[in-house]
Amino acid sequence: MPQGRQDQHLAEGGRIHVAHYPPTDRALQDQIIEFLTDASARSEASDSEFLHGNEVDRAVRFSRFLARRYYRDRLHRGFRYSTALLGSGAAANLVDTVKFDPILEGCTLGSLATASMVGELAVSELRAKRSDEWWTELLDYEYAFFVQLATSELTPVTRFFRNAISTLIREFRFAIPELLENSKKAKVPTNVPRKPTTLLFSRTHQGRIYVVELDATAMAVTKAVNGFRHAAEIAECADLGQKETERILADLVRISAVLPPTNEAA
């Protein structure tokens, strides 16, 4: 039976039994969740204190099912424009291939590292599907958007402004809105106008995703945010006035592209 069908069967009918702990034990629940979603927590599965016998193997299989389901959904949403053009669920189908198996061995659901690996695999597999010059840029856009969808890892706060962990900046040569509009209608774009554009991708803690165009000033401020500067230092580095810098920083904080400093951070 294919691995995907095994995982599905386990999810629908299999059970993972917990021994010697009351079901209301929050610490135990956290352990189980971590075991199912974090490969590093499963690396010492043979020493598990809350699973016994063949339950460890069953839990590992269930964790694979969860990972496939999680990334299939996000690949489907993140690479929807290329999928519309190709006429099939090209990116989402990757989770059922052998090329996805190595990612399963070390994935942590919601981590930036795993999201990056899955996104890079999708781009690598889809790049050869078309030879159009704009195709690579479409995939680059979808990769950046996918990373926001698939990353829920929290960014540690500090005493300085810092970029959120999944914030990405991409530069494009083509007019992205026109490219996306044609792709959404499953129309192969022709004569896509060239319009150099810099886009910033970010995700709020609540899961809302922003894609905003950066002008030269906002770009200068964003680049000056390195996790070790206060507002005045960012203004100096960006060669801007204090008020203008603070206005741009406030906009970036509002969309969670940049995290504000906290006096309570270590």
Give the CATH number for residue 98. 3.90.930.50
* 3-class state of residue 237 by DSSP: helix
pLDDT of residue 189: 83
Task: Give domain status of residue 249, yes or no.
Answer: yes
- What percent of the residues of the chain are helix, what percent strand, and what percent coil, each to the nearest 5? 55, 10, 35
Across the chain, the runs of DSSP E, i.e. the strands, are: 162-163, 168-174, 194-203, 209-213, 258-259
CA distance 35 to 87: 37
Task: Give domain status of residue 146, yes or no.
Answer: yes
Task: Give domain status of residue 20, yes or no.
Answer: no
pLDDT of residue 241: 97
pLDDT of residue 191: 85
pLDDT of residue 117: 97
pLDDT of residue 1: 35
- pLDDT, one tens digit for every residue, the chain (266 residues): 344 434 333 333 344 444 444 545 666 555 555 665 666 655 555 455 655 656 666 777 778 889 999 999 999 999 999 999 998 768 999 999 999 999 998 899 999 999 999 999 999 999 999 999 999 999 999 999 999 999 999 999 999 999 999 999 999 999 999 999 888 888 888 888 999 999 999 999 999 999 999 999 999 999 999 999 999 999 999 999 999 999 999 999 999 999 999 874 44
Residues 257, 163: contact at Cβ < 8 Å? yes
Strands across the sheet with 194-203, in order? 168-174, 194-203, 209-213
pLDDT of residue 7: 39
Please identify which residue in the block is written with the tokens 């609540």: 206
Q: How is residue 50 written in tokens?
A: 């809350």
pLDDT of residue 101: 94
pLDDT of residue 61: 79
Query: Please, what is the Cα angle at 20 between 14 and 22, to 5 degrees?
Result: 85
pLDDT of residue 60: 74
Q: Domain range spanning residue 126?
A: 70-259
Residues 146, 122: contact at Cβ < 8 Å? yes
Task: Give domain status of residue 48, yes or no.
Answer: no
**Predicted TM-score (pTM) of this structure:** 0.82
Burial 155-164 (b: 16+ CB within 10 A, else e): beeeebbbbb
Please, where are the H alpha helices in 38-151? Answer: 39-42, 55-78, 80-86, 101-106, 112-127, 133-150
Task: Give domain status of residue 11, yes or no.
Answer: no
Q: Into how many domains does the chain fold?
A: 1
Task: Give domain status of residue 38, yes or no.
Answer: no
CA distance 123 to 107: 18
CA distance 221 to 82: 32
CA distance 69 to 170: 28
Task: Give domain status of residue 94, yes or no.
Answer: yes
Task: Give domain status of residue 179, yes or no.
Answer: yes
CA distance 77 to 126: 15
Residues 109, 68: contact at Cβ < 8 Å? no
